[in-house]
Amino acid sequence: MPGSQRSVLGSLVLIAAVVGFGVGAFAYTAGWLTPNRLTSTKLVSALTPPGGPALGHRRNHAKGVCFTGTFDANGNGSAISRASMFTAGRYPVLGRLNLATPDPNAADPTVRVRGIGVQISAPDGNVWRMALIDPPVFAVSTPQGFYDLLTASTSKDPEAMKGFIAAHPEFAAFGEWATKAPWTASYAEVTFNSLNAFTFTDGSGAEHAVRWSLRPEARPVPITAEDFAKLGANHLEEDITERVASSPQRWTLVLTVADPSDPTSDPTKAWPPGRRSVEAGTLVVQKIEPEANGPCRDINFDPTILPDGIKVSDDPFPAARSAAYAKSYDLRTSEASSYPRIEASAKP
């Protein structure tokens, strides 16, 4: 194949990955950016599909299912953070498994990125909310770059994506993952990554830059995109519901501590292997509930809601996500009549 044709084909593959990711990736925007540059309203509007938003639903990661369970802390996390939920014990959890799409009715095989929102509550009133996705790196290095990605991926200008890729070379690593990483046919087999760095403070006051992952107990079984498509439009929710009904599903919370030279403000840059890691406990998913009337429906998984012992770092994205999540929450709760709760008597 001539070089020019390979280049065009490669661009088309990347564009397909971007469109699939761009319409449903984390809704990032920085509330502290000036209005003429980027605002939460502008960002959330850019996430809206051509046919308009799904009223009453999240503007992003709109397809999902609720779960409840526990975080079983083993005490190891206390070595790097004084957060009370790292003290050995069992803590209640509610969360949401989801797909990165603005369409709550999207077919599972059409969405490349999967996510999880988790809330861990401690008896002393501390709460830790987090939102993770399955790529090992994020697509862009700044909130403005994410907005540029959204606008380029939906532009009618055939040169828009070429221009974006040229201006954002950091996108290549995500594009590589999106086009080449194997799929799995179950949420239970997914590793979820925080991507953003946070600052953990231990009992002595020492600070540590940390990213974390939720690593599944279930063995990942690779599947081709074509075979996954044969399983049905809603296979992921059906599968996790069946698995949890049979037995609780588990993920290990692994905290990765940065070396002083590691970048903390850019989620497109993975930290080198071999960094110190701490297995802090186990997320145990014990019950699955449809979102329409489930406990996660009205939870905003704002990653800046943190317990004492964890705070944001110089990474701009958590504050950006917080602003956009708040905007999305305000919109969907004002449209609640378009997505009414199911009365108990009406349940099958």
Q: What are the binding residues?
A: 325
What sign results for the dihedral spanned by CA atoms 141, 143, 144, 147? positive
Q: In angstroms, rounded to a whole number, what is the distance separating the alpha carbons of residues 317 and 320?
A: 5
- State how far the Cα of 115 lies from the Cα of 95, in Å rounded to an integer: 11
Token couple for 159? 């040169």
The alpha carbon torsion through 97, 99, 103, 108 (nearest 10 deg) reads: -110
Q: CA dihedral in degrees (180, 317, 268, 179; nearest 10)?
A: 10
Annotated binding site for heme: 325
Q: How far apart are CA 204 and CA 8, in angstroms?
A: 56
Kindly write down the DSSP assignment for every residue of 44-103, as one continuous string: HHHHS-TT---TTS-SSS-EEEEEEEEEEE-SGGGGT---GGGSSEEEEEEEEEEES-S-
- Positions marked active-site: 61
